[in-house]
């Protein structure tokens, strides 16, 4: 097994390189001198892919993109350890498309038989990878499709009925449903991508993935690209089972977070948290911010309370139907909401430009989720602010987070102005009281009408 170790130190990789998983770096965000950086045009990629990359305004490879494109574009396997913000998804998408364009298979395949299968743990991540694949395939004839739960399967089935599919991005559950219905068959898969394997393991998807992998050609007859943010012994065993003599690409980072990201932890009580959040939003004049909670019920309560205080917000959690989640995310991306309240399940799939603030209303229960959360801001060389609230019940999590990111977080009490008393809810309370009073008056009036004739 060949190991390629990439050290993303301050000298080797600028903060601008730490773009999100699914895309590469805007040229204009890079310094004028880019010594040691590799341009996409130097990677011997098909003209259609280069045109798409140029159309998107990107020029330079991130370290993992260079490693993947230079070593596995010919069909070899890879097992990669890579955090969010390394350009991983673009790496495997460009590799797959370039290989397919250079080695076009003659003849027709049965409908619903993809040449490449990309497995991802969440619906949001599937949608993001699909969007990036469509952008990169813009000047090709490659057909991209997706399959994920949370929405009616009828519309998704249309992508496969009587149609050829080149690249399929899917969550395990919906894919298995379509396989059982014989809508999708995997015996023609040439490249299998397993993304965020550690997350798949945490979510209990491994038995489903085993079934899916066994439905594809043997590993000696397919290319397998295996990615995980962490490489636990169990994840390594899965990698060894499903890959064939892979190049192991380890993207290390001396700094788990970008230099352009300001981080601070406010030590507060549970009762002070909402007051602090409200004043932060008002005084910092958020244009677009994400607030993270750990549980669905916490997310719902917090978003409703923000609405009560006339803060335009929406929320994402596992309980929200998929079509609503997609609509809310698009509306947030379009600027219709100032604040998005989300859980970690939804958080990994959020790729929105221009997020100025990420607030950890609750500290994450898993240290790696801290990196995923704060990676939603300070993207593509832009600056960003991460603020975490550590109350008396959650402060013990800080030590694990600091150990994981190998950095000390500044922990302070918030300034007094950020703990100002909340304003009275005059408008909403008045409207509610008026409505209740009108309802009571109407019921009394109806009761009087009924009682009149009864005693006549």
pLDDT on residue 436: 47
pTM of the model: 0.66
* Residue 202 falls inside a structural domain: yes
Same domain, 241 and 279: no
Residue with tokens 């000298």: 11
Interatomic CA distance for residues 373 and 206, integer angstroms = 24
Q: Do 213 and 290 fall into the same domain?
A: no
Reply yes or no on whether the pLDDT at 453 is more than 80.
no
Contact 267/24 with Cβ under 8 angstroms?
no
Domain shared by 329 and 311, yes or no? yes
Q: Which residue has the higher pLDDT, 54 or 449?
A: 54
Contact (CB, 8 A) for 350 and 329: yes
Phi, then psi, of 155 in degrees rounded to 5: -70, -40
36 has pLDDT over 60: no
* CA distances for 135 relative to 66, 159, 395, 400, angstroms: 20, 18, 42, 38
Distance separating alpha carbons of residues 220 and 245, to the nearest angstrom: 9
pLDDT value at 64 more than 90: no
- Strands across the sheet containing 116-119: 2-7, 247-252, 78-81, 223-228, 191-194, 116-119, 167-170, 144-147
Same domain as 60, residue 173: yes
CA atoms within 13 A of residue 261's CA, in its CB half-sphere: 28
Nearest by Cα to 7 from 59, 63, 89? 63
The model's confidence at residue 4, banded by pLDDT at 50, 70 and 90, is very low
**Are residues 297 and 366 both part of a single domain?**
yes
Q: What is the mean pLDDT of residues 82-110?
A: 83
Could you give the C-alpha distances from 84 to 16, 28, 226, 376, 405, in angstroms and in order?
14, 21, 15, 9, 13
**pLDDT beyond 80 at 300:** yes
Side-chain-facing half-sphere of 213: CA atoms under 13 Å: 19
Q: In this structure, are residues 324 and 100 in contact, taking their beta carbons and an 8 Å threshold?
A: no
pLDDT for 255 equals 42
Percent of the chain surpassing pLDDT 90: 45
Compute the average pLDDT of residues 321-336.
84
Average pLDDT of span 437-453? 49
Q: How much is the average pLDDT of 220-240?
A: 90
Residue 92 has what pLDDT?
A: 93
Residues 212, 329: one domain?
Answer: no
What is the pLDDT confidence band of residue 387, given thresholds at 50, 70 and 90? very high
Instruction: Looking at the structure, tell me whether residues 161 and 292 fall in a common domain.
Output: no
Q: Do 179 and 285 belong to one domain?
A: no
- pLDDT bracket for residue 204 (50, 70, 90): confident
pLDDT band at 451 (very low <50, low <70, confident <90, very high): very low
Cα→Cα distances 240→74, 83, 186, 376, Å: 20, 20, 21, 31
| Same domain? 318 vs 170 | no
DSSP labels, 383-397:
-EEEEEEE-TTTGGG
Give the pLDDT of residue 20: 36
pLDDT, residue 148, reads: 92
33 in any annotated domain: yes
Closest listed residue to residue 149, CA positions, set 118, 117, 183, 124: 124
Stretch 285-305: mean pLDDT: 91
Residue 402, in any domain of the structure: yes
The tens digit of pLDDT for each residue in 68-80 reads 888 888 889 999 8
Q: 294 pLDDT exceeds 50?
A: yes
- Taking the C-alpha atoms of residue 33 and residue 380, their distance in angstroms, rounded to an integer, is 17
H-state helical runs in 3-122: 47-55, 63-71, 88-102
Residues 6 or more apart whose CB falls under 8 angstroms from that of 451 comprise none
Closest by CA position to 119, among listed 42, 79, 188, 171: 171
Kindly state the average pLDDT of the residues 3-17: 37
Residue 364 belongs to domain with CATH number:
3.40.50.300
What is the mean predicted confidence (pLDDT) over 7-17? 34
pLDDT at 429: 45
Beta-carbon-side half-sphere exposure of residue 100 (alpha carbons within 13 Å): 24
Number of structural domains the chain divides into: 2
Domain boundary residue among 252, 281, 300? 252
Tens digit of each residue's pLDDT (9 = 90 or more) over 245-289: 998 887 654 344 555 678 999 999 999 999 999 999 998 877 789
SS3 345: helix
Asked if residue 27 belongs to a domain, the reply is: yes
**Residue-averaged pLDDT of the chain:** 81
For residue 51, is pLDDT > 80?
A: yes
Confidence band of 226 (pLDDT split at 50, 70, 90): very high
Identify the domain containing residue 274 by its residue range. 261-419
pLDDT at 454 over 70: no
Shared domain for 234 and 300, answered yes or no, is no
Statement: residue 2 has pLDDT above 80? no
The alpha carbon of 232 is separated from its chain's Cα centroid by a whole number of angstroms, namely 21
Question: Do residues 214 and 284 share a domain?
Answer: no
pLDDT, one tens digit per residue, over 134-152 is 999 999 999 999 999 878 8
Task: Say if residue 293's pLDDT is above 80.
Answer: yes
Q: Which of 226, 252, 278 is the last residue of a domain?
A: 252
The span from the CA of 303 to the CA of 290, in Å, is: 11
Q: Which residues contact 268 (CB under 8 A, 6 or more apart)?
A: 276, 389, 390, 391, 413, 414
Residue of 205 and 16 predicted with greater confidence: 205
The domain boundary, picked from 252, 274, 300, lies at 252
Q: Phi/psi zone of residue 112: left (φ > 0), alpha (ψ -120 to 50 degrees), beta?
A: left
Task: Give domain status of residue 443, yes or no.
Answer: no
pLDDT in tens, 361-386: 999 988 888 887 887 775 544 567 88
Q: Which helix (H) or strand (E) holds 200?
A: helix 197-202
Higher-confidence residue of 87 and 106: namely: 87
Q: Is the pLDDT score of 412 beyond 90?
A: yes
**Residue 454 maps to a domain:** no
Q: Residue 209: name the closest of 257, 263, 248, 172 by CA.
A: 172
**170 lies in some domain:** yes
Domain assignment present for 425: no
Give the HSE-up count for residue 218: Cα atoms under 13 Å, Cβ half-sphere. Answer: 2
Task: Indicate if 300 and 246 belong to the same structural domain.
Answer: no
């Amino acid at each position: 097994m060949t190991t390629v170790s990439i050290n993303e130190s301050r000298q080797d990789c600028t903060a601008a390189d730490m773009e999100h998983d699914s895309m590469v770096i805007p040229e204009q965000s890079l310094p004028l001198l880019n010594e040691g950086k590799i341009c996409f045009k130097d990677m011997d990629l098909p003209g259609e892919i280069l045109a798409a990359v140029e159309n998107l305004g990107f020029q330079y490879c991130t370290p993992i993109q260079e490693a993947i494109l230079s070593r596995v574009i010919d069909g070899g396997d890879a097992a990669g350890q890579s955090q969010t913000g390394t350009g991983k998804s673009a790496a495997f998408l460009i590799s797959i498309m370039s290989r397919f364009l250079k080695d076009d298979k003659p003849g027709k395949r049965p409908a619903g038989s993809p040449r490449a299968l990309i497995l991802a743990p969440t619906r949001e991540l599937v949608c993001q990878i699909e969007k990036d694949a469509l952008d990169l395939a813009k000047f090709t004839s490659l057909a991209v499709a997706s399959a994920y739960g949370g929405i009616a399967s009828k519309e998704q089935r249309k992508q496969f009925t009587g149609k050829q599919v080149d690249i399929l991005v899917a969550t395990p559950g919906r894919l298995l449903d379509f396989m059982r219905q014989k809508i999708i068959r995997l015996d023609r898969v040439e490249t299998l991508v397993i993304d965020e394997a550690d997350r798949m393991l945490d979510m209990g998807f491994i038995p489903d993935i085993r079934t899916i992998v066994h439905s594809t050609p043997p590993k000696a007859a397919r290319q397998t690209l295996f990615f995980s943010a962490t490489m636990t012994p169990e994840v390594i065993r899965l990698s060894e089972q499903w890959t064939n003599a892979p190049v192991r690409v380890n993207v290390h980072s001396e700094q788990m977070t970008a230099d352009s990201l300001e981080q601070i932890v406010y030590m507060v009580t549970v009762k002070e948290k909402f007051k602090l959040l409200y004043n932060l939003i008002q005084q910092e004049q958020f244009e677009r911010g994400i607030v993270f909670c750990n549980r669905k019920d916490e997310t719902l309560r917090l978003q409703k309370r923000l609405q009560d205080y006339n803060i335009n917000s929406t929320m994402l959690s596992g309980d929200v139907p998929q079509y609503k989640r997609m609509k809310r995310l698009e509306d947030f991306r379009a600027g219709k909401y100032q604040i998005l309240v989300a859980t970690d399940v939804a958080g990994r799939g959020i790729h929105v430009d221009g997020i100025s603030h990420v607030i950890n209303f609750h500290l994450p229960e898993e240290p790696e989720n801290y990196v995923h959360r704060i990676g939603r801001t300070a993207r593509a060389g832009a600056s960003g602010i991460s603020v975490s609230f550590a109350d008396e019940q959650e402060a013990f999590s800080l030590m694990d987070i600091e150990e994981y990111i190998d950095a000390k977080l500044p922990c302070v009490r918030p300034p007094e102005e950020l703990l100002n008393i909340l304003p009275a809810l005059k408008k909403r309370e008045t409207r509610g009281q008026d409505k209740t009073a009108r309802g009571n008056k109407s019921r009394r009036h109806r009761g009087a009408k009924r009682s009149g004739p009864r005693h006549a």
